[in-house]
Structure 1
Amino acid sequence: MRIRRLDTGPLDVSPVAAGRLLTPEGERRAFWQIAEEMPVAILLNGETFAVMMMTPADIEDFAVGFALTEGIVEAAEDIESLRIAEAADGMICNLTLDPARIEKVEGRRRTLAGRAGCGICGAQSLEAVLPAPRRVARTALPGAEALFAAFDGLPARQVMKQVNKTTHAAAFCDRGGAVELVREDIGRHNALDKLAGALARDGRDASRGFVLLSSRVSVEMVQKAAAIGAPLVAAVSAPSALALRVAARAGIVLACRAGRDIMLFDDTALTAPLKED
């Protein structure tokens, strides 16, 4: 197998984000290294097969492993060549194969989009992955006490997880931190879709509170929150770098739990650490 990687320059897979670390005792300025997230298009003989969201490290291994685990090839030797290059807002991996192998998996293009783990993995173009987010109207945001109350109150409302120990939850909380509505699902993005539907059916305005997630915040979760007009998304795990960038464009503030504390990220996307005075 021949591998050709065009000069993409250094990829920072741990950019730095700034924010305020909220603690029971007060708050302080903080800087976090967070994981990068990027759409990577998998092409078979130049034709798009799927687009997957990933951390842009060890991309050669990912491309070969994806081809193996998806049944596209039976061995790495079945890949004649692998070409990796930059694209707008992402990267492209083009695998050159025997055309007969591609014919066998042609029908799989449609089935890759709808997995429980990712709402946009399997989209067939980079443009489809990163549409411009809706701009959310700025409203009053919850204070530290409200965020602590919401995080503390969510577990008791996760009825399914208490039984199956598995499902994710998406909750709508008022500005005081009271958990008003919860929806659960095996897929984190499905849980948020259910919450969006419940809010719409009840005629509730998402801008009058915030969304709380039991999962990590990836870019598609930000896009969904923007679609319903939620001004803040809090989660138990840190956002990806791409999620922070898209949230900044949408005017959404992101927060995550950090042990007993809460990290409230700046709404100015990524930033370099400031020098201490």
Structure 2
Amino acid sequence: MKGAISVDFVRTAREGSAEAIARSVPLERPIALEFNGIGYAVMMATPCDLEDFAVGFALSERLVSRPAEIVDVDCHSTAQGEIVRVTLSAECAPALFERVRHRTSDSSCGLCGIENLEQALRPLPPVPAQPPIAADAIFRALGALRDHQPLNRETGAAHAAARCSAAGVILDVREDVGRHNAFDKLIGAMARAGAGWDGGFALLSSRCSYELVEKAALSRCGTLVTISAATDLAIARAKACGLTLVVLARPDAILTVSA
């Protein structure tokens, strides 16, 4: 499915003139994710690269520890949205049922209670040590990112997540209206292709929340670069697992969080 549609607008200028124009807007649909027949989550996302999304989501949610535990991904379109049915191996059933149990309690009362807080901030695995990424490589990737964002060029309303080499060459990109979804799609695409970070870095066109730090760490990414700022929790989580965090990455300067 394509990621955008054309919509008619009336453009009104400051001086008062008005004209009819057509403009592309990104698609946003409910995506129902089912694992082993259990309705797990409904995400609002751009309905493309859904197989990548499902695989990346399963890894980020720690429902699986490796792509081989995902047996099948089956996508269905309905009038209400998209249904993605994922079959996990039998060994994943305990983790799935435990996570579903916590999600059920979360949805009724929010993140309340010691047990739920511990689940929300579960320890992250240490990320692999790697040589520092040169600033020139980050600036190189920043300068090239727009050329790898066809959906955002068309609509001006989509986030991107890019896999970059240590030299700053953009190797792969996924886009979505949601920054978390774009990163899950990229992680899923890498997992399906058997690709790793190989000393490179992730570049995200968004602010850095703690969830994005967790996705990076769980995918064994050593360096995460975001165009906007980070929250204090994102910085704390990055330091705890050894993830190098570069934020407010702009064409003229970057900020690297001190170790």
TM-score, normalised relative to structure 1: 0.51
Aligned to 1:127: 118
Q: What is the aligned-residue identity percentage?
A: 37
Aligned to 1:61: none
Choose the corresponding residue for 1:137, options 100, 124, 128: 128
Cα shift readout 1:148-186 (whole Å, capped 9, x = no counterpart): 101111111111101111111000000000011000111
Report whether the alignment pairs 1:152 with 2:130. Answer: no
Contact 1:173 1:179 in 2 (8 A): yes
Instruction: State the 1:141 CA deviation.
Output: 2.5
Aligned to 1:203: 194
Cα shift readout 1:173-232 (whole Å, capped 9, x = no counterpart): 000000110001111111110000111111111242100000011100000000010000
Choose the corresponding residue for 1:219, options 202, 205, 210: 210
Question: How far apart, in 2, do the equivalents of 1:203 and 1:138 lie?
Answer: 20
Question: How far apart, in 1, do the equivalents of 2:190 and 2:160 lie?
Answer: 15
**Structure 2 counterparts to residues 25-104 of structure 1, below 5 A:** none
Report whether the alignment pairs 1:166 with 2:157. Answer: yes
Is there any run of 5+ residues in structure 2 with no aligned partner, and where? 1-102
Q: 1:169 is matched by which residue type in structure 2?
A: A
Aligned to 2:254: 262
Do the aligned partners of residues 199 and 260 (structure 1) sit closer, same or farther apart at CA in structure 2, a change above 3 Å counting?
Answer: same
Question: How far apart, in 1, do the equivalents of 2:146 and 2:241 lie?
Answer: 28
Post-superposition, which runs of at least 4 consecutive aligned residues in structure 1 deviate over 3 A?
A: none
Report whether the alignment pairs 1:178 with 2:138. Answer: no
Contact 1:207 1:229 in 2 (8 A): no
**Structure 2 counterparts to residues 179-194 of structure 1, below 5 A:** 179-194=170-185
Contact 1:168 1:215 in 2 (8 A): yes
Rg: which structure is higher? 1
Contact 1:171 1:211 in 2 (8 A): yes
Cα shift readout 1:243-274 (whole Å, capped 9, x = no counterpart): 1110011110111214621111112xxxxxxx
Choose the corresponding residue for 1:228, options 219, 229, 236: 219
Contact 2:157 2:177 in 1 (8 A): yes
137-146 or 191-200, which deviates more: 137-146
Aligned to 1:88: none
Question: How far apart, in 2, do the equivalents of 1:219 and 1:163 lie?
Answer: 29
Aligned to 1:249: 240
Contact 2:142 2:250 in 1 (8 A): no
More relative contact order in 1 or in 2 (CA 8 Å, sep 6+)?
Answer: 1
- 1:261 counterpart SS class: coil
Instruction: State the 1:238 CA deviation.
Output: 1.4
| Higher percent of residues as helix | 2
Do the aligned partners of residues 248 and 207 (structure 1) sit closer, same or farther apart at CA in structure 2, a change above 3 Å counting?
Answer: farther
Question: How far apart, in 2, do the equivalents of 1:255 and 1:208 lie?
Answer: 15
Instruction: State the 1:146 CA deviation.
Output: 0.2
Is there any run of 5+ residues in structure 1 with no aligned partner, and where? 1-108, 114-121, 268-277
Contact 1:216 1:236 in 2 (8 A): yes
